[in-house]
C-alpha cells in the first residue's frame, strides 16, 4: 500500500517524475542516439492508436524520412524495432517494477477495489511506459549503428538491445534487483531504488567514463550542478546547497548573474522563473540532490532509528495512526457520553494527508479559496495565485525558497550541536579552573580557563549564550557578588550599554579568574 499512497491513486505528478528518466537516456546515449530514439518513440505512441499493417508501413516511411537530422533510420528498421518491442513485453508496466510492493500479493480488498487501485496507477505507468519506449528505440539505434550488416537482427543482437534498454531505464525492473532490494532490506529501500541504481551505474563499470561525464553534464544543464552531484548517491548536492546558503547565496536574488542561476538551478528552473517570476525546485523534485536518503538521514541524525531502518512504510503508518487518533478519541468520548471530544472537519480530511493525490487536491482547493499555500502540517508557506497553485499541484514542485528551509534547518542543527558541545566542554574546564584556584594553583587555573574559552570559540558560541555557560559552570562555586555581576553585565542589557557591559564583564572575569 505504500506504493499506492505515494505514487498511485491518480497522483498526476508521477507522470513527469517517471518521464524525467529521459534526461538519463540523453545523458548516457548522447543527444544523437537519444533524439533518434525519442522520434521513433513518438511514432510508436501513435501506433498505439492504430497498429494495422498499413499504418505501420506509413509510420515506418515517416521515420525513415529523417525528420530529425542525423537519426539514420533506414526503411524497415522502425518496423523491426516495433516488432521486437511488442514481442518483448517491455512496454507493459506491471508489478515487475521495483517500486511496486511485491510481484505477488493477496487480494484483501476484492477485484473491484483492486481495479480502482490499478486504475489509480495510470500516471505512474504511463510515465514509465514512455521512458521504456524511448529507452528501447534509443538502444535499438545504438546497437544498429554498431553493426556492419543491414539485415534482420540476430537473437544475440536482440538480447543486446533489450539489455541496453534496461540499462537506459536505470535497471528499474525486478530482473535487475540486487540483494539490497530483497528480504528485510527491501522495505527501507523501496523508494530509494532509482537513486541506488543510478549510483551503482556511476560507481560501477557498466558505463564508460565518457557516458558518466555526459550524464553529469546533462543533469547539470537540466537540474543544476549541485543536483548532478546527487547521481553519486551521496548527499553532495544538499551539502553544496547548504554551503552556498551559509555563504549568503539566495536563489533568484538580483545579485546573481544569469550564468550563476543557470549553473546552480538548471536551465528549466531558470526558464520557468523568466516566464512566471517564480523559482521552483526542479532539481530537487526530479534529480534528488540528496542522494540515498538513508545515507543522508544517518549523517544528519535528525530521524528516529525506525524511520531510517523501516523507511517510508513506517513513516506512512505512524502518520496514518496519528491522523486516526481523533476518531478513536471521538469514539471513546461518545461511549463515555462526556462530550469532551467533538469532531471537526479537519479530523476527516487529515487522514488523507498521507495520500499524495488526495492531499494535493485538498491543498489546491484551499489555495483557490484563500490564495494561501499550506504544507502537510497546515503551516502557512506563502501566498499563491490560482495558476501557480495549479502548476505546483500538477508538477509536484514547490517554491525553491521553501525547499531551502531544510538546508537552513540542517545548518542551525549543526550550529546548536557545536555550541552545546562547546558549552559542555567550557563548563568542565572552567570548573577545573575554579578548583585549581581554590587550591592556590593560579598557573594551573589560568591554563584551564584558557582551555575553557578555547572550547567556546571552537563551538562558535555567540555572546548571548555566555551567561548560560558561565552560570552553569559556576554552579556550586558562585558567590552572591558573582551572580550580581553576571546578571548586571549579561542579562537584559539595554542597547546603550551593551559595549560597556561586554568590556566590563570581560575585565571582571580576568580580575577573578585570569586571562580568557
In sequence order, what DSSP letters do the residues of 33-75 get, joined into one string?
HHHHHHHHHHHHHHHTT---HHHHHHHHHHHHT-SSTT--PPT
- Which triple of cell numbers denotes residue 11? 497522483
Q: Are 391 and 281 in contact (CB under 8 A)?
A: no
Helices (DSSP H) in 65-206: which residue ranges?
77-88, 111-119, 122-146, 155-168, 193-203
Min mean pLDDT across 279-283, 385-389, 455-459, 490-494 is at: 490-494
Which of 225, 229, 221, 223 lies closest to 198, judged by CA?
A: 229
Greater pLDDT, 341 or 201: 201
pLDDT, the chain, mean: 78
Task: Identify the pLDDT of residue 99.
Answer: 46
The packing angle between helices 466-473 and 442-458, to 10°, is 140
What is the distance between the alpha carbons of residues 416 and 410, in angstroms, rounded to a whole number?
A: 10
Q: What is the crossing angle of helices 22-29 and 155-168, to 10°? A: 120
Phi, psi (5° rounding) for residue 289? Answer: -65, -15
Give the per-residue pLDDT at 485.
78
* pTM of the predicted protein model: 0.71
Q: Report pLDDT for 213.
A: 93
Per-residue pLDDT, averaged over 213-226, amounts to 92
Question: Within its chain, how far is the Cα of 254 from the centroid?
Answer: 27
Of 151, 158, 102, 130, give the one whose Cα is nearest residue 42. Answer: 130
CB 284 within 8 A of CB 227: yes
Torsion of CA 142, 143, 145, 149, to 10 degrees: -170
pLDDT value, residue 106: 45
From CA 220, how far away is CA 237, in angstroms rounded? 11
Alpha carbon distance 240, 199 (integer Å): 18
Helices (H), 147-208: 155-168, 193-203
Q: Are 286 and 396 contacting, i.e. CB atoms less than 8 angstroms apart?
A: no
DSSP 3-state assignment of 455?
helix
Confidence of residue 467 (pLDDT cuts 50, 70, 90): confident
The cell for 299 is 549523517
pLDDT score recorded for residue 506: 79
96-117: pLDDT as tens digits: 444 444 444 445 455 666 666 6
Question: Would you give the distance in Å from CA 275 to the centre of its chain?
Answer: 25
Ramachandran region, residue 295 (left: φ > 0; alpha: ψ -120 to 50; beta: rest) = alpha
Query: Do the Cβ atoms of 238 and 289 come closer than 8 Å?
Result: yes
pLDDT tens profile 408-463: 887 888 888 899 999 999 999 988 888 888 788 888 888 998 999 999 999 998 88
Helix axes 155-168, 77-88, angle to 10 degrees: 70
Label residue 486 by pLDDT band (50, 70, 90): confident
Given a cut of 90, whether residue 214 has pLDDT beyond it is yes
pLDDT-derived band at 397, boundaries 50, 70, 90: confident
Q: Between 84 and 242, where is the model more confident?
A: 84
- Asked whether the beta carbons of 208 and 119 are under 8 A apart, the reply is no
SS3 state of residue 380: strand
Q: What is the mean pLDDT of residues 215-228?
A: 91
Please report, for residues 31, 291, 463, the alpha-carbon distance to residue 287 in angstroms, rounded to integers and kept in the order given. Answer: 19, 9, 41
Q: Which residues contact 168 (CB under 8 A, 6 or more apart)?
A: 24, 25, 28, 29, 135, 138, 139
Q: Are 245 and 408 in contact (CB under 8 A)?
A: yes
Closest alpha carbon to 200 in 30, 32, 37, 24: 24
What is the pLDDT at residue 156? 93
Q: For residue 383, what is the enclosing H or E element?
A: strand 380-383
Q: 454 near 515, Cβ under 8 Å?
A: no
Which residues fall within 8 angstroms of residue 459, CB to CB, at 6 or more apart?
418, 419, 420, 421, 422, 423, 425, 426
Amino acid at each position: 500500500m505504500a506504493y499506492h499512497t505515494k505514487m498511485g491513486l491518480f497522483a498526476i505528478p508521477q507522470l513527469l517524475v517517471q518521464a524525467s528518466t529521459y534526461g538519463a537516456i540523453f545523458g548516457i546515449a548522447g543527444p544523437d542516439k537519444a533524439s533518434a530514439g525519442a522520434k521513433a518513440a513518438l511514432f510508436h505512441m501513435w501506433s498505439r492508436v492504430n497498429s494495422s499493417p498499413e499504418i505501420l508501413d506509413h509510420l515506418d516511411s515517416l521515420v525513415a524520412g529523417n525528420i530529425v537530422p542525423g537519426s539514420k533510420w533506414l526503411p524497415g528498421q522502425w518496423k523491426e524495432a516495433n516488432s521486437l518491442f511488442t514481442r518483448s513485453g517491455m512496454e507493459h508496466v506491471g508489478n515487475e517494477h521495483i517500486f511496486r510492493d511485491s510481484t505477488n500479493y493477496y487480494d484483501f480488498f476484492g477485484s473491484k477495489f483492486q481495479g480502482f487501485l490499478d486504475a489509480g496507477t495510470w500516471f505512474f505507468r504511463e510515465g514509465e511506459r514512455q521512458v521504456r519506449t524511448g529507452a528501447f528505440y534509443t538502444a535499438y539505434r545504438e546497437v544498429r549503428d554498431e553493426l556492419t550488416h543491414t539485415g534482420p537482427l540476430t537473437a544475440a543482437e536482440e538480447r543486446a538491445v533489450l539489455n541496453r534498454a534496461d540499462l537506459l531505464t536505470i535497471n528499474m525492473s525486478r530482473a535487475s534487483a540486487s540483494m539490497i532490494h530483497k528480504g528485510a532490506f527491501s522495505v527501507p529501500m523501496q523508494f530509494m531504488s532509482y537513486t541506488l541504481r543510478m549510483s551503482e551505474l556511476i560507481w560501477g563499470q557498466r558505463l564508460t567514463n565518457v557516458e558518466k561525464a555526459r550524464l553529469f553534464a546533462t543533469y547539470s544543464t537540466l537540474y543544476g550542478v549541485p543536483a548532478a552531484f546527487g547521481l553519486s548517491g551521496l548527499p553532495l548536492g544538499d551539502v553544496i546547497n547548504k554551503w552556498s546558503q551559509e555563504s549568503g547565496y539566495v536563489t533568484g536574488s538580483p545579485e546573481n548573474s544569469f550564468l550563476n542561476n543557470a549553473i546552480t538551478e538548471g536551465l528549466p528552473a531558470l526558464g520557468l522563473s523568466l516566464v512566471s517570476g517564480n523559482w521552483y525546485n526542479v532539481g530537487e523534485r526530479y534529480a534528488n540532490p540528496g542522494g540515498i536518503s538513508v545515507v543522508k538521514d544517518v549523517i544528519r541524525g535528525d530521524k528516529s532509528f525506525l524511520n531510517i531502518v523501516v523507511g517510508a512504510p513506517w513513516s506512512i503508518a505512524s502518520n496514518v495512526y496519528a491522523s486516526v487518533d481523533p476518531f478513536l478519541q471521538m469514539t471513546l468520548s461518545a461511549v463515555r457520553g462526556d462530550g469532551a471530544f467533538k469532531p471537526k472537519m479537519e479530523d476527516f480530511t487529515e487522514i488523507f494527508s498521507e495520500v499524495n493525490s488526495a492531499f494535493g487536491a485538498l491543498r489546491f482547493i484551499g489555495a483557490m479559496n484563500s490564495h494561501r499555500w499550506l504544507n502537510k502540517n497546515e503551516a502557512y508557506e506563502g501566498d499563491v495565485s490560482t495558476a501557480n497553485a495549479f502548476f505546483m499541484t500538477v508538477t509536484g514542485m514547490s517554491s525553491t525558497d521553501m525547499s531551502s528551509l531544510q538546508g537552513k534547518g540542517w545548518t542551525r542543527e549543526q550550529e546548536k550541536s557545536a555550541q552545546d558541545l562547546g558549552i559542555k566542554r567550557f563548563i568542565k574546564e572552567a570548573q577545573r579552573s575554579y578548583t585549581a584556584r581554590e587550591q592556590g594553583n593560579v598557573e594551573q587555573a589560568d591554563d584551564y580557563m584558557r582551555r575553557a574559552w578555547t572550547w567556546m570559540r571552537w563551538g562558535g558560541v555567540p555572546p548571548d549564550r555566555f551567561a548560560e555557560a558561565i552560570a552553569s559552570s559556576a554552579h556550586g562555586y558562585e558567590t552572591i557578588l558573582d551572580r550580581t555581576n553576571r546578571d548586571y553585565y549579561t542579562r537584559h542589557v539595554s542597547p546603550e550599554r551593551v559595549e560597556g557591559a561586554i568590556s566590563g564583564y570581560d575585565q571582571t572575569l580576568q580580575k577573578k579568574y585570569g586571562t580568557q
